[in-house]
Amino acid sequence: MKVDYHLPTAHRTMLNYYTWHERLGHVGETVIKSMGLPSTATTCKVCALNKAHRLPFKDHFDPAHLPLDCVHIDLVGPISPPSISRCKYILRIVDQATSFRIVWFLKNKSNTFHQFTVTKKLMETQHNCSLKKLVSDRGGEFLNSQFQQLENECGSVHSFSPAYTPEHNSLAERANHTILEKTRCMLNATKLPNSYWAEAVSTASLLSNYVPTPLRHNHLPHTLWTSLPPRIKKLRVFGFQAIVMTPKEHQDCKLGPTGVEGILLGYENNISVYQVLCLSNRKIFVSLEVYFTYPNRPQLS
């Protein structure tokens, strides 16, 4: 299946390898080449400093052919420092058939079941089918009466990996390794405080859905899950300078500036809306009207 990335040829070639490498969350040369983008690799110092040696993972689960045939979940944390919204945990949900990834940020482990059931309902509504199998480790957040009752009511199977053997849930472990690796690169490249890890994780996870995966014959998780083409033309580098247009009611006077300076933190609504951190007051703006200046990476004062 050949993917149309909705990018004019001129737009593909005018940006160099390193620019796409950063926009896509520090992905490798093989991925960029498979997308038909400039693939003359240059050494990325950020990756060299932040990507530890990757240990091999071997899959220990049955194949899945359709969305929701099998979903893998994992909880990462507690993470210190807490995020700017006071969260300490990452709930990772990965659909095995498509490699599509969803992340949520939790303040407490006790929120795991509620957040999973909300996500399960959303996924089942999108695909008009029920979850067949769930795979997790034996953490208390998964091995409890709430998940047991859900299994009995829905007729799904809940499989557990053996204690102290994360390789048996290697799909979730591999996803966690990749996302955290990208998060380190993105945070250290921008010099943002570590308390912005949730924004970096969210962006890294979204970008992972937008690049080809060898596990699925170089198809895109986003396209396999939604049947829609990607919109990478709107991608910009995490942490780059952005100017956000301010609503008229928030402008100080008619002769004052109509925008505020900020830093790109992420996206919403399938990359149609940008999240920008305002430099002056550290508030996060969500807006369509954002302009980017290159190659400046401003730092918080």
Q: Where are the domains of the chain?
A: 56-226, 241-292
Band (pLDDT 50/70/90 cuts) for residue 95 is very high
pLDDT higher than 90, residue 200: yes
Helix 170-190 with 197-208: angle, nearest 10 deg: 120
- pLDDT the model gives residue 9: 47
What is the token pair recorded at 126? 């999108």
Q: Which residues contact 268 (CB under 8 A, 6 or more apart)?
A: 274, 275, 286
Percentages (nearest 5) of helix, strand, coil residues in the chain? 35, 20, 45
pLDDT higher than 90, residue 289: no
Preceding peptide of 166 cis, ω within 30°: no
| Span 203-232, average pLDDT | 88
- The average confidence (pLDDT) of the chain is 81
- pLDDT the model gives residue 175: 62
Q: Among the listed ranges 10-14, 125-129, 281-285, which one has the minimum average pLDDT value?
A: 10-14
Band (pLDDT 50/70/90 cuts) for residue 212 is confident
pLDDT higher than 50, residue 210: yes
Q: What is the pLDDT of residues 164-183, one digit of tens each?
A: 555 555 555 666 677 888 88
d(CA 232, CA 100): 16
Band (pLDDT 50/70/90 cuts) for residue 141 is very high
Q: What is the dihedral of CA 103, 169, 47, 267, to 10 degrees?
A: -10
The model carries a pTM of 0.76
- pLDDT the model gives residue 72: 93
Query: Comparing 148 with 167, which gets the higher pLDDT?
Result: 148
CATH architecture for segment(s) 56-226: 2-Layer Sandwich (3.30)
pLDDT higher than 60, residue 56: no
| Span 242-271, average pLDDT | 76
| Span 260-281, average pLDDT | 88
Query: Comparing 265 with 5, which gets the higher pLDDT?
Result: 265
pLDDT higher than 70, residue 255: no
